Structure 1
Amino acid sequence: MPQHAPHTPVCRDCDGFPVVAITTGTRNPDGTRATLAVTCSTCKGTGRRTASTLIRAGR
């Protein structure tokens, strides 16, 4: 059965996954991969879309 998701506005840049782990290619002394945690710069790591501000373009 499908799960019902709440009607919260999701960030369009990260699709609701605001923090990701990126491997650097190097290994730690215990053999695990070294990773960096990177947050979405648009939603500041919340995963939700904020109210957009109106920008006047043109004259």
Structure 2
Amino acid sequence: MWRKSSRSGGEGDCVEVAGFADSVGVRDTKDRQGPSLSFDPASWTRFVAATRTGRFDNLT
């Protein structure tokens, strides 16, 4: 089941996330029939943790 990210803004820059048996999927809300990315659960957990700590803020 896909769900909209709680961090997606109201400007149309939304993503959806789905947990599957052996992966986590991410797709663009505006293009639900388009491509999606797939991550193993451990990598996704590390990415979310790094995002929460601000590791990717202000990257140029």
Give yes or no for TM over 0.5: no
Superposition TM-score, scaled by structure 1 size: 0.18
User: Which is helix-richer, 1 or 2?
Assistant: 2
Superposition TM-score, scaled by structure 2 size: 0.18
Structure possessing the higher radius of gyration over alpha carbons: 1
Structure with bigger RCO (C-alpha 8 Å, 6+ apart): 1
